[in-house]
C-alpha cells in the first residue's frame, strides 16, 4: 500500500540530507575522486539533479498519460547542480501533493542496465524506488566524504572512528 504522504515526507527529508552533504564538501574539490571508478561530488549532484527532472517525475507522468518535456542538463558546478536539484525537488513535491487517487498499478515497459534488459515498471515501483534512489546517493555522498576526510587526515589515521 502506497502512503503518499509518507513518501512526500521522506523525499523532502532526503533533499535536506543531500543539501547538507553536498555543502559539507569543499566546492574547490568537488571534482576530486578517491579512485577512477568513483564519481566526484559534482558527478553525484549532477546525476541526482537530472534524475529529479528527467526520470522519476517524468516517468510517472508518462505512465498516467501526462505530457512531460523534462530533459537532462549539464551543470557547470556542484553548487549549480545542487541548486537545480533543490528547485526540481520542490516542483516534484508540489506535483506529488497535487495528485488525486493515482493509479499505482499503471505501468511502462522499460529497458534497464548495460544490457538494456526489458522489464515492466509500475507507478508504485517507480515511486518507492525514487526514495531508495535518494538513499543510494546519500550513501555514496557519505562514502565520498569519508574518503576525502581520510585522505586529508594523512599522515594520521581515522581508524579510531570505527570500521567502514
Give the other-Cβ count within 10 Å of 45's Cβ: 28
For the chain, the domains span 4-161
Q: What is the pLDDT of residue 14?
A: 98
Q: What is the pLDDT of residue 111?
A: 87
Q: What is the pLDDT of residue 67?
A: 80
Query: Which CATH code for domain 4-161?
Result: 1.20.120.450
pLDDT at residue 113 greater than cutoff 90: no
**Stated pTM of the model:** 0.93
Query: Which residue, 52, 61, 131, is CA-closest to 86?
Result: 52
- Chain segment 132-155, per-residue pLDDT in tens: 999 999 999 999 999 999 999 999
- Chain segment 27-82, per-residue pLDDT in tens: 889 999 999 999 999 999 999 999 999 999 999 999 999 887 777 889 999 999 99
Q: What is the pLDDT of residue 38?
A: 94
What percent of the chain shows pLDDT beyond 70? 100
pLDDT at residue 160 greater than cutoff 90: yes
What is the C-alpha separation between 114 and 140, in angstroms, rounded?
20
Which phi and psi angles does 52 have, rounded to 5°? Answer: -65, -40
Amino acid at each position: 500500500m502506497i502512503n503518499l504522504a509518507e513518501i512526500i515526507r521522506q523525499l523532502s527529508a532526503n533533499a535536506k540530507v543531500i543539501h547538507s552533504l553536498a555543502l559539507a564538501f569543499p566546492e574547490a574539490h568537488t571534482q576530486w575522486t578517491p579512485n577512477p571508478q568513483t564519481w566526484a561530488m559534482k558527478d553525484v549532484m549532477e546525476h541526482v539533479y537530472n534524475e529529479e527532472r528527467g526520470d522519476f517525475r517524468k516517468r510517472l507522468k508518462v505512465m498516467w498519460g501526462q505530457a512531460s518535456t523534462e530533459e537532462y542538463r549539464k551543470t557547470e558546478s556542484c553548487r549549480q547542480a545542487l541548486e537545480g536539484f533543490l528547485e526540481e525537488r520542490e516542483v516534484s513535491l508540489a506535483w506529488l501533493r497535487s495528485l488525486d487517487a493515482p493509479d499505482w498499478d499503471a505501468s511502462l515497459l522499460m529497458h534497464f542496465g548495460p544490457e538494456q534488459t526489458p522489464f515492466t515498471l509500475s507507478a508504485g515501483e517507480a515511486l518507492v524506488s525514487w526514495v531508495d534512489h535518494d538513499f543510494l546517493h546519500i550513501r555514496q555522498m557519505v562514502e565520498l566524504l569519508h574518503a576525502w576526510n581520510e585522505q586529508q587526515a594523512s599522515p594520521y589515521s581515522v581508524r579510531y572512528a570505527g570500521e567502514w
